[in-house]
Structure 1
Amino acid sequence: MDKQSILEVRGLNVEFETNDGVVHAVKGIDLDVKPGEAVAIVGESGSGKSQTTMAMMGLLASNGRARGSARYRGQELIGLSERKLNRVRGEKITMIFQEPMTSLDPLYRIGRQIAEPLIHHRGMSAKAARARVIELLDLVGIPNPERRVDSYPHEMSGGQRQRVMIAMALANDPDVLIADEPTTALDVTIQAQILALLAELQQKLGMAIVFITHDLGIVRRFADRVYVMRSGEVVEEGATETLFGAPKHPYTKMLLAAEPTGRKAAPPAEAQVLLEGRDVEVVFAAGGGWFSRSAGEVRAVDHISVALRQGQTIGIVGESGSGKSTLGRALLRLLPSEGTVRFVGQDISDADKRAMRPLRKELQLVFQDPFGSLSPRMTVGQVVTEGLKVHEPSLPARERDRRAVEALKEVGLDPAMRNRYPHEFSGGQRQRIAIARAMILKPKVVVLDEPTSALDRSVQKQIVDLLRDLQKAHDLSYLFISHDLAVVRAMADHIIVMRQGKIVEEGPTEAIFDNPQEPYTQALMAAAIDGTPFREGVVEA
């Protein structure tokens, strides 16, 4: 074994027994991690990135099996008994996951959850473990750790929950930290904070980090070396700057070229205003909790005015909790609001469900998570034509099917697939299905709420291209809500920047990106496009 490697993988294979036969998820890969090194494993969904590390940790699903070798400081992990594995994982090798809310138990306070590995691996008393937990919360930048130690996961923001997961992973001073897409669901500023925190902790503690991601921008700023995976195989490996500067494999070149490009022209100044909000306000009742501005209410949208013209795309950006999605739903009259909302000149501010129903086909919404918004019990054909049954109930079944075929073709899907179910499709295909469901009704306005955030970069580019093509073909107007500024820049001709329910800054896209005036906007842009590395060099063991 290479004495310099703390983790060495040779000929690792991962297979899963399924109803359709054996699925070969990882195909004989080799991988090395040195002490104090940051190694990135990149590739699209299904490439085998996560299964590689899950196999090392003995965390494969019950129908999975691993073959080959994965050694930690010379100790073979593949085939190791559960009892012996538990001496390594959680203490020497730890892991943080993409979505902390699925990893944190909602019924237990965070202090208890962080203390668990301390009590289990080190035999600490509850009192000593609590003191260590407060130290860890302070280390990862949680404010008021003495108080927040008793918080429940739902009482914390997404960025804070991810910091809690990092604190839990660091509890026993591990040699290797595996971070599996730890920033994908976070806003750009929070993402930058988490990555900077990991880099700082790595330098301070001297641990190695294995970083799994599909975001190459993060990789370039964070990793020393990169492994590129595709279909279970490593297709290219090398030092980060070498790989980015002179990629050799066509797949690596494709990934690097997958950034959404192009700029959208603004509509004519005389273009009709389709959807307009004046002094829109949304207030939610609250109990005077952590995020309330005052006891009793949260002002999610605070007197905002916006006018969307025909053929225009307004990008709404800001961090989680800024009110982006709430504003979009208020303008669609999907939740109560104060102020005035007009659609094609008609005041719909006080329209009830019955009055809104005829307008719904012209005001459509596409969600962030297509899997959550598509009924698993309905075929794709049924999902796409569901709106037609509501808005055109007299339409014959044959005509509905014809329109479904047309809609699926328009979004780039094979209509022959319309008798399949949503779980049989990839994330990008499911988002196309969700778009087809909206487009079949021939809407005037579509609110797109984070429609690409859960997708791989190359798939994001495809969806952006599709949305632009549909807009051009049907003269659509979009409200595009996102925290991904690269996608927003490619989609929108006008930007609204929101923070704490208010508009901080707005204007033409290029003006906002090239010359932001407000400090908050400047911070957003810096977090998204700053090329400064989060870490410099390799920490020696």
Structure 2
Amino acid sequence: MAESVLTIRNLNVRFRTGDGILHAVKGIDLDVAAGETVAIVGESGSGKSQTMMSVMGLLATNGWADGSVKYRGEELIGLSPDKLNDYRGSKLTMIFQEPMTSLDPLYRIGDQIALPLTTHGRMSKAKARARAIELLELVRIPEPTRRIDSYPHEMSGGQRQRVMIAMALANNPDVLIADEPTTALDVTVQAQILELLADLQKRLGMSIVFITHDLGIVRRFADRTYVMKRGEVVESGVTNEIFTAPKHAYTRMLIDAEPTGRKEPVAAGSPMVIEARDMKVTFGLKKGFFGKAGHVLHAVDGVSLSVRAGETVGVVGESGSGKSTLGRAILRLLPAGGLVRFEDRDLMPLDRAGMRPLRRHLQLVFQDPFGSLSPRMTAGEIVTEGLLVHEPRITRKERDRRAAQAFEEVSLDPAWRNRFPHEFSGGQRQRIAIARAMILHPKLVVLDEPTSALDRSVQKEIVELLRELQNAHGLAYVFISHDLAVVRALSDEIMVMKSGKVVERGTAEAIFEKPKQTYTQDLIAAAFLRGLEDVKTAAPLAS
């Protein structure tokens, strides 16, 4: 192996919790050589992200690390924040899973890219702005001189992730740590980001530490792989060797993990829960922040669907296809045209006060549980928050009892309800988000990318949990996702959306076995990595 840029020895990470000390990372060793890509994989809660957060000195306030982390021979553990800042943002940089929570919504992206340049590079504002434009061009943001003044909400998910990469590359780092950088992206954008990272690595000669639960990506992107389980490295080595001849049973389980089985048909005569007809949602786009109105975006354009008790309708498509907007329109969470009937009631004439009594029956589970769970509330308080609105007369003791019951229903230890969100893994946080919806005994649940942030083995568990809850309570689901493997395992019917319209619909079997539209065929090919070349050996992208 080439000279080690990052050397980790006997690293331990611990957190103080209400239930005692949590030992998250247990004495691991790890090396990253110059110019190589190292992947760290494992289930949620395995310690892979906390390992790198400790390297960057970004652990939560109740956490601490000991052992040794050396960058080119210089010890980082124990350094003060001021000393760490000599490395962070310049020699060692990190990009995170969800750029919308990492980018400040109040500042233009150009100002945010310029910040590490003025802080670490001591550049003037004018030079930093010029460098920011160069970086936007480097990560292939179209019209960089114009987009530099955009706000994060004015960019797509893929563009925001490119902005995060530009920020990380601002000072030509030695090591780029990428923590699930493509998880929240649809499969076509994911492929573009991977190709971009591989190309930038070749140009800049940097090392990449790639944290992910997607083993398909690891196989095509990483030189070496570390497999973590419950805070320990259980296997490491050359990536191809690990995939072709895994030595540890846990590694074999991860490689084989994928949602399986097919959904049972809906019982004959199941009542209609929700019916939407000719749904339309439009947004007036503006030329600038205070500019005059420009053209109208038809986010949802004449879409209809119906869901019966016990039925799941899957909605798939690329980012910007309108699938999440459709889900919110059905729940009357944004202005829309068309017809929405819940059971025998027309929802469209109802105002906010009129909708309030029905909200408990119409629930939404979000993509990013960490962003939707208040960090200041315990898990039990989060789960019972809806009861304060819909059942205000019940006692605190009764709320706590129902919280414990909800935790059991989603297969979480009820004793954990006094913990805070950051003390849970991603999969556990998603179970908390599901419990928050289920405690109100809803009839319809819109699930907006509920498994995209989870590793395959945890996805499989969440799929099985959703099936059990649906069977137990006769729930109707609208399941929105770009992950076609999960959609296939859960759905009765699938709708394929593009540019606000439904381009194809049918049974899950028909869509996957005999897709009619080229767009659907391309989505399926990308989702199952058919024809995706190895990005490590691909030719550099054109500038």
1:51 maps to 2:39: no
In the other structure, the counterpart of 1:9 is 8
1:372-425 residue CA offsets vs partner (Å, 9 max, x unmatched):
556678776676566667667888999888766655443334556667776765
Q: For the Cα contact (< 8 Å) 2:39–2:218, is it kept in 1?
A: yes
Cα distance in 1, alignment partners of residues 110 and 379 from structure 2: 44
In the other structure, the counterpart of 2:462 is 463
Q: CA deviation at 1:436?
A: 3.9
Which residue identity lines up with residue 535 of structure 2 in the other structure?
Answer: F
Q: CA deviation at 1:311?
A: 2.6
1:117-137 residue CA offsets vs partner (Å, 9 max, x unmatched):
445555555444433332221
Structure 2: give runs of 5+ residues left out of the alignment: none
Change (3 A) 1:309 1:224: same
1:461-508 residue CA offsets vs partner (Å, 9 max, x unmatched):
212101112222333321111222222121112111223322222222
Q: CA deviation at 1:256?
A: 2.6
Which residue identity lines up with residue 294 of structure 2 in the other structure?
Answer: A
In the other structure, the counterpart of 1:451 is 450
- Count, aligned residues: 537
In the other structure, the counterpart of 2:337 is 338
In the other structure, the counterpart of 1:242 is 241
Cα distance in 1, alignment partners of residues 423 and 269 from structure 2: 45
Cα distance in 2, alignment partners of residues 89 and 379 from structure 1: 31
1:180-259 residue pairs with structure 2 within 5 A? 180-259=179-258
Change (3 A) 1:370 1:174: closer
When the two chains are superposed, the root-mean-square deviation of aligned CA atoms in Å is 3.7
In the other structure, the counterpart of 2:347 is 348
In the other structure, the counterpart of 2:472 is 473
Give TM-score, length-normalised by structure 2: 0.85
Q: For the Cα contact (< 8 Å) 2:17–2:419, is it kept in 1?
A: no
Which residue identity lines up with residue 53 of structure 1 in the other structure?
Answer: M
Moved more, 295-304 or 262-271: 262-271
1:18-417 residue pairs with structure 2 within 5 A? 23-61=22-60, 64-79=63-78, 85-267=84-266, 272-288=271-287, 295=294, 297-353=296-352, 355-356=354-355, 359-370=358-369, 407-414=406-413
Structure 1: give runs of 5+ residues left out of the alignment: none
User: Aligned with 2:7: secondary structure?
Assistant: strand
Change (3 A) 1:38 1:273: same
Cα distance in 1, alignment partners of residues 399 and 23 from structure 2: 40
User: Aligned with 1:26: secondary structure?
Assistant: strand
1:307-330 residue CA offsets vs partner (Å, 9 max, x unmatched):
223332111122333322222232
1:31-56 residue CA offsets vs partner (Å, 9 max, x unmatched):
12222211101123333323333333
Cα distance in 2, alignment partners of residues 386 and 119 from structure 1: 43
Which residue identity lines up with residue 486 of structure 2 in the other structure?
Answer: V
Q: CA deviation at 1:82?
A: 6.0
Moved more, 199-208 or 417-426: 417-426
Change (3 A) 1:389 1:60: closer
Which residue identity lines up with residue 295 of structure 1 in the other structure?
Answer: G
Q: For the Cα contact (< 8 Å) 2:17–2:423, is it kept in 1?
A: no
1:132-176 residue CA offsets vs partner (Å, 9 max, x unmatched):
332221111100012122323333222212111212222333332
Q: For the Cα contact (< 8 Å) 1:11–1:68, is it kept in 2?
A: yes
Moved more, 20-29 or 238-247: 20-29
Change (3 A) 1:371 1:208: closer
Which residue identity lines up with residue 221 of structure 1 in the other structure?
Answer: R
User: Aligned with 1:204: secondary structure?
Assistant: helix
User: Aligned with 1:255: secondary structure?
Assistant: helix
Moved more, 46-55 or 434-443: 434-443
1:354-385 residue CA offsets vs partner (Å, 9 max, x unmatched):
55456445433333344555667877667656
Q: For the Cα contact (< 8 Å) 1:26–1:48, is it kept in 2?
A: yes
Cα distance in 2, alignment partners of residues 228 and 383 from structure 1: 33
In the other structure, the counterpart of 2:490 is 491
Q: CA deviation at 1:205?
A: 2.6
Cα distance in 1, alignment partners of residues 90 and 125 from structure 2: 18
Cα distance in 2, alignment partners of residues 79 and 420 from structure 1: 27
User: Aligned with 2:294: secondary structure?
Assistant: coil
Moved more, 418-427 or 407-416: 418-427
Which residue identity lines up with residue 162 of structure 1 in the other structure?
Answer: Q
Moved more, 241-250 or 434-443: 434-443
User: Aligned with 1:10: secondary structure?
Assistant: strand
Change (3 A) 1:84 1:365: closer
Cα distance in 1, alignment partners of residues 86 and 399 from structure 2: 59
Cα distance in 2, alignment partners of residues 209 and 371 from structure 1: 25
In the other structure, the counterpart of 1:507 is 506
Cα distance in 2, alignment partners of residues 52 and 499 from structure 1: 39
User: Aligned with 2:4: secondary structure?
Assistant: coil
In the other structure, the counterpart of 2:535 is 534
Which residue identity lines up with residue 196 of structure 1 in the other structure?
Answer: E
Q: For the Cα contact (< 8 Å) 2:383–2:439, is it kept in 1?
A: yes
Cα distance in 2, alignment partners of residues 417 and 77 from structure 1: 33
Q: For the Cα contact (< 8 Å) 1:224–1:538, is it kept in 2?
A: no
Which residue identity lines up with residue 445 of structure 1 in the other structure?
Answer: L
User: Aligned with 1:300: secondary structure?
Assistant: strand
User: Aligned with 1:295: secondary structure?
Assistant: strand
Cα distance in 1, alignment partners of residues 400 and 72 from structure 2: 60
Higher gyration radius (CA): 1
Which residue identity lines up with residue 228 of structure 2 in the other structure?
Answer: M
Cα distance in 1, alignment partners of residues 502 and 349 from structure 2: 24
User: Aligned with 1:6: secondary structure?
Assistant: strand
